[in-house]
Amino acid sequence: MPRDAGGAEALLQEIFGFETFRPGQGEIVEAVAAGENVLAIMPTGGGKSLCFQLPALIREGVTVVISPLIALMRDQVRGLREAGVAAGALTSGNTPEETDAVWDMLHSGALKLLYLAPERLANAGTQRMLAQAGVSLIAVDEAHCVSQWGHDFRPDYLRIGELRRALGVPLAAFTATADEETREEMVTRLFDGVVPTTFLRGFDRPNIHLAFQPKDGPRAQILSFAAARRGQSGIVYCGTRAKTEGIARALREEGHSACHYHGGMEADDRRHVEERFATEDGLIVVATVAFGMGVDKPDIRWVAHADLPKSIESYYQEIGRAGRDGAPAETLTLYGAEDIRLRRSQIDEGLAPPERRAADHGRLNALLGLAEAQGCRRKALLAYFGEAAGNCGNCDLCDAPPELFDGTEAVRKALSAALRTDESFGMGHLIDILLGNETDKVLSRGHDKLPTFGVGKDLKKGQWQAVFRQMMGHDLMRPDSERHGALVMTDRALPILRGEQEIALRRDAMTNATERRPAVKALVSEEHAPMFSALKALRTSLAKEARLPPYMIFNDKTLIEMAERRPATLDDMARINGVGAKKLEGYGRAFLEVLNGSAEEMHPRRRKLAASGTGAVYDALLEAQAALVRGADGTEKPLSCTAAMLAKLAERPPVDREDLDRVLGDRRAERFGAAFHEVLREAAQG
């Protein structure tokens, strides 16, 4: 195994089956492999794990990976072992046999990656064990968990900095979402305040289609979205446990394979759902955010939110579960005025200090701004993370730009209704005042005598609901938890109320909401769809036989490339992204049979050369040998080289003719030396 950074690209092809790094990966791998302290902030699905797995193979000794969830660790370990890498995890979920095997590899020096949960660092024996194990690197996955500002704070992550100091080894920290406060705290906690080599990679996930819809019968909206994507793996995030169970049941009644997941379930039941999602194609999990960081399934084709997420960071990370393989994926986020009221009250009623509550309101504002965006959603999303971008062409507002209208007068009427009732009432009562509805509540309080009574009859009730929702989305009004959710005006609304500023709103009539559902993005063209289905069927069969998740055989993107490029030989197959040496050896011929109806018969030594790119040299040597088996004139006694000898020449060509003759020996050098030397010379030049 190469031990220098120069071998990184060779290992990338041989082990992971990729010809090139994704943008930004190469320099991170180089820095980590060189032993620098590194902080890398990369988008979910941007290939973070490879940025510490590959350096672990380059560096001497063991790399310890601190990861937050057992399911995530076990998933990565299985994937690495399937690729031929010595990896293991010490977790509470291990069987005694699994733990013994990890210890055996650790003691023998064979183990390259050891996964641990941060809670294990609380055990005094863990640090002693690591000090004796020859640890050369610490990698921290989901590193934002170290921060009080991060949205998944884990106190045991605070011990990682102490471990780095005790072992005296470099540390590489990775996360997908980290604003400025979180980054500063990660530097303090993990690197003692000394800023490490920092990589802030683009947050864009261009393969993911972004879409929002106002709520208009949310269960029916989710069912409609899932129906158009039948047979594809998806996640539906819900705000309550009861809703996960109800929507999962409704999906099953519609003929989908679906199950629910939430924190109130027994641990065994949760593990069963995790296992099903990992191993079944086309399963939909309806979940609370408890189903989050442990999901490492690369071929999730869609994510829907039945309720508004709590912040823009949460939204970004949750939609990032889709399309991790780089193939097209879709999202849909539903939201309404009640979502906004709930999220505001959760912040206001929390125990966080005032500055934290203000920051949380800011994060929610950013998400509401995205929901009520009037132009490209991706442009707005990336702007929050400090990136400039043009219109993406892959969101609902690029697909069908919204019709805008001057909403200044409507907003002033709504603000006036709230102010004239001492900001003591919610949206429903204010709309009754604007529409001139003589309800008992309106009459008993004398609100039918207000100047604003009946001034809003130009709009219907549903349209006023859309106006109020957009006002809350623009943070012009907030529900006040101390007044039972009454809407109060914010400072942002003052310039509009005074006539100093105008505001444009979207015509989001609720009756038209479902018409904005984006068209399904086809994974492959109609021409290649039958072959893609056949390859998926084979993958499922092989996965069941091996008791592996299907994507650990090959992910969707690899199968798409096979269906489109139709490799005819193992050499062709080796050039498909995601087909490494071990997978080529294990699965190559089976997939070629589906692609071509048959597969070439080939010596096992020759099959192993396909992934390294030296198979063609082996073939040329074999052809040269075949012409000389009975000598140049065809009358001599048959003579040949072993497959192992030809493979050795192809993989490690002798430096000159003299060296070649020594490898071949006198008899074979006399028969084949000149011809082999010419083959190897042409290969070196070509």
Two structure tokens written together for 588: 């190559």
Is the pLDDT assigned to residue 254 strictly greater than 90?
yes
Q: 86 or 201, which is more confident?
A: 86
Mean pLDDT across the stretch 593-621?
71
Is the pLDDT assigned to residue 513 strictly greater than 60?
no
Indicate the range of 29-43, 235-249, 475-489 predicted with least confidence: 475-489
| Confidence at residue 137, expressed as pLDDT on a 0 to 100 scale | 95
Query: Where do we find the tokens 């995205």?
Result: 370
Angle at which helix 160-167 crosses helix 180-191, to 10 degrees, equals 40
Indicate the range of 272-286, 564-578, 634-648, 658-672 predicted with least confidence: 634-648
Task: Fill in the amino acid letter for 233.
Answer: S
Task: Give the span between the Cα atoms of 642 and 662, in whole angstroms.
Answer: 15
Is the pLDDT assigned to residue 511 strictly greater than 50?
no
Indicate the range of 80-94, 107-121, 350-364, 408-422 predicted with least confidence: 350-364
Task: Give the span between the Cα atoms of 686 and 680, in whole angstroms.
Answer: 10
Listed in sequence order, the residues at least 6 apart from 113 whose beta carbon sits closer than 8 Å to its beta carbon are 53, 56, 62, 63, 65, 77, 80, 85, 86, 87, 88
Domain 8-200, second-level architecture: 3-Layer(aba) Sandwich (3.40)
Q: What is the mean pLDDT of the chain?
A: 85
* DSSP line for 552-611: HH--HHHHHHHHHH---SHHHHHTSTT--HHHHHHHHHHHHHHHHSS-----HHHHHHHT
* DSSP line for 223-292: HHHHHTTTTS-EEEE-SSHHHHHHHHHHHHHTT--EEEE-TTS-HHHHHHHHHHHHH-TT-EEEE-TTSS
Is the pLDDT assigned to residue 5 strictly greater than 50?
no
The CATH number of domain 528-599, selected from 3.30.420.40, 1.10.357.10, 3.20.20.105, 1.10.150.80:
1.10.150.80
| Confidence at residue 686, expressed as pLDDT on a 0 to 100 scale | 66
Residue 320: which pLDDT band, with cuts at 50, 70 and 90? confident
Domain ranges of the chain: 8-200, 208-399, 404-506, 528-599, 612-684
| Top-confidence range, 237-251, 521-535, 665-679 | 237-251
Q: 168 or 643, which is more confident?
A: 168
| Confidence at residue 295, expressed as pLDDT on a 0 to 100 scale | 63
Is the pLDDT assigned to residue 388 strictly greater than 60?
yes
pLDDT digits (tens, 9 = 90+) for 188-210: 989 988 899 999 877 888 899 99
Residue 509: which pLDDT band, with cuts at 50, 70 and 90? very low
Is the pLDDT assigned to residue 6 strictly greater than 60?
no
Task: Give the span between the Cα atoms of 365 and 228, in whole angstroms.
Answer: 31
Q: Does domain 404-506 have CATH number 3.100.10.10?
A: no
pLDDT digits (tens, 9 = 90+) for 463-498: 898 899 888 888 898 887 677 778 889 998 999 998
Residue 287: which pLDDT band, with cuts at 50, 70 and 90? very high
Residue 242 Cα to chain centre, angstroms: 27
Residue 352 Cα to chain centre, angstroms: 30
Which H helix or E strand runs over 38?
Answer: strand 38-41
CATH of domain 208-399: 3.40.50.300
Asked, colleague to colleague, whether 8-200 and 208-399 share their fold, the answer is yes
pLDDT digits (tens, 9 = 90+) for 37-57: 999 988 776 788 999 999 999
